[in-house]
Chains A and B, each alone.
Chain A
């Protein structure tokens, strides 16, 4: 109890100090009127008509995939590692997957209301359309692959809640398919970053050598696919009911 009070008091003192420094001394440079030199370079070169340009009126996408391309590329790898880490913790071998499917099939089939199902169908179609427009127009309007992919993954979660994982798997959204689509997205990204080397003899990720805005568009589409199906893969495994998973784990421990 005494230790908690001490911790709280020290946090209060830290807060007061930070508040003083931020408001009176303005160390963060909040609310300045002039542009920082780095941003001025980005803003004036992203859509310049001569010289080095990344052919994108949307400066954020230009920074993400062109000026700081390696940063984003390795963020994609970090994302891949996180998804693979989650998958390797929750992995099931073929026998166990079949067992899980049997157990899920034996569950009593309960359905949501007609209202819920019809509304979900409408909303999901809208979300998918919006996420596609976010991702495919990423180099022209606000948005990009990451944001579109996250929106699309949310649409899939909505379907899980209103229908069931079982229904979706019967329609073809199985683990095998989502992992293949994830790999296809990553392959598109890799192909786009290696294309300047192979076709034009440039450097890796020098995508402004490619004609027009193909480079940015391809990377956005690849990222869209990768993020969507990366999340979906984990959601499909996390969607296995708790008692089914416990049953499988108990069998594995008994063996």
Chain B
């Protein structure tokens, strides 16, 4: 049952990831692109956490407590490495979001559009 759930969630996350790539590639609005980039990033982060899960019962967080023995801790604790990787990735994702949103906002203020097709036309106009 639980392995079925794990497979189900991971496939859903892969679908979300592909959906994110599809959105980034096909939408022409910058804000929509940023949103789909977020969808993709969050799916990848969740997949990372899922890989660290262990099928033991009961399962503990990777925090050593005094009332359990060390062997039991090693046998029961989930994998801490993916969590540590995702932890920094989330905050950097948020900072990157701020940077991208700032660019989009400033471009809108200066040119009145966030559409990539209009941007391409502006570039072509500059070259001629």
| Residues on the A chain within 8 Å of B90, using CB | 146
Contact with A along B31-65 (1 / 0, CB 8 A): 00000000000000001001111111000011111
Q: How far is the CB of B89 from chain A (nearest CB, A)?
A: 8
Verify if A169 is at the interface (C-beta below 8 Å from B).
Answer: no
Number of A-B contacts (CB under 8 A): 143
Cα–Cα distance between A218 and B111 once the two chains are bound (Å):
45
| Residues on the A chain within 8 Å of B11, using CB | 18-19, 22-23
Verify if B116 is at the interface (C-beta below 8 Å from A).
Answer: no
How many interface residues does A have (CB within 8 Å)? 60
Which residue of the partner chain A has the closest CB to B21?
A11
Cα–Cα distance between A79 and B70 once the two chains are bound (Å):
37
Main secondary structure of the interface of B (DSSP, over half): helix
User: A43 near B63 (CB under 8 angstroms)?
Assistant: no
**Contacts A7-B26, A64-B88, A246-B109 given: A82-B96 contact, CB under 8 Å?**
yes
B83-100 CB contacts (< 8 Å) to partner A: 83-84, 87-88, 90-92, 94-96, 98-99
29 contacts between A and B (CB under 8 A): A7-B26, A8-B22, A11-B21, A15-B15, A22-B11, A22-B14, A28-B51, A30-B53, A31-B6, A31-B54, A32-B54, A32-B55, A35-B54, A36-B79, A43-B74, A43-B77, A44-B70, A58-B62, A58-B64, A64-B87, A64-B88, A75-B91, A78-B95, A82-B99, A83-B95, A85-B99, A90-B106, A142-B63, A234-B98
With A82-B95, A86-B98, A149-B91 given, name 15 new contacts (CB 8 A): A8-B22, A28-B10, A32-B55, A33-B55, A33-B56, A39-B79, A43-B73, A59-B80, A64-B84, A83-B98, A85-B99, A141-B63, A142-B63, A150-B91, A150-B94
